[in-house]
Amino acid sequence: MKILVGLKRVVDYTVRVQVKPDGSGVAIDGVKMSINPFDEIALEEALRLREAGKATEVIVVSIGQQTSMQQIDTGLAMGANRGILVKTDKPIQPLTAARVLAKLVEKEQPGLVILGKQAIDDDNSQTAQMLAALIDRPQATFASKVEVDGNVARVTREVDVGLETLEVDLPAVISVDLRLNTPRFIKLPDIMKAKAKPRETLELASLGVESGDHLAATHYAPPAKRQKGVVVKDVPELIGALKAKGLL
């Protein structure tokens, strides 16, 4: 079985993104870019499934500009077998990403597609669910445990009220949560080995995918600032301050 993994290039999670003063967007020129943290976890899970003999090939896909090839390089160094860059010059929305991934599913026929539960730039958390709908297959989102047994995956999901377990027939789409695994570190020889791995570039425009970019962002603003608070000197003062606010 093949596993397809999505790697989105996003602003690194340590960067504190600022809104441009004119409200036209966020200032991200020159900031550190990385693989979406959830996608590293998705890839790690795919690699572990391959190492456990449940999968034969792990394919990493990134949809974005030429620069997203860096994230594919990293994915290949982590251990993926090959990479596909779907090139487009403008940012796409989840429905378009899902339609592109559906095309690749049609072509590659993977048994599993593993994506992140959300991309930490737009915080949408939609692509996996949309892909599963488009290909009419099961979805198991926010996974914290994945067990594959023949044609079935048993997935534990992190939900608001606890942990839910679903059983899904393959092919299926999984989106991963933070506690599924800890991604491996890349060693120097892995980077060298990855140089020889196959990388394919497809133009998004050539895939015949209808755009699903229906939403228009018209203005960006910084979040409302909280008023500066007080620092109390000891516990009695803290209790006094809470009582003054009627909270105790």
Ligand X SMILES: Nc1ncnc2c1ncn2[C@@H]1O[C@H](COP(=O)(O)O)[C@@H](O)[C@H]1O
Q: Is 183 in the site for another protein (CB under 8 A)?
A: no
Q: CA-to-CA distance for 239 and 99, rounded, in angstroms? A: 55
Chain positions 8 to 67 lying near ligand FAD, rule: CB under 6 A, are 13, 37
Q: Is 12 in the site for ligand X (CB under 6 A)?
A: no
Query: Nearest-CB residue to ligand X?
Result: 116
Chain positions 198 to 237 lying near ligand X, rule: CB under 6 A, are none
Burial group, residue 65, by CB count within 10 angstroms (0-12, 13-18, 19+): middle
Q: CA-to-CA distance for 216 and 220, rounded, in angstroms? A: 12
Cβ proximity to ligand FAD: between 39 and 61 the closer is 39
* 75-97 exposure pattern, b = at least 16 Cβ within 10 A, e = fewer: bbbbbbbbbbbbbbeeebbbbbb
Q: Could you say which of 75, 79, 94, 110 contacts another protein (CB under 8 A)? A: 94
Q: Residues 45, 127, 205, 83: what is their CA dihedral angle, to the nearest 10 degrees?
A: 0
Q: Is 64 in the site for ligand X (CB under 6 A)?
A: yes
Q: Is 94 in the site for ligand X (CB under 6 A)?
A: yes
What is the 8-class DSSP label of residue 43?
Answer: H
Using CB under 6 A, list all residues that contact ligand X: 6-8, 36, 38-39, 42, 61-64, 94, 97, 115-116, 118-119, 122, 124-128
Using CB under 6 A, list all residues that contact ligand FAD: 13, 37, 120
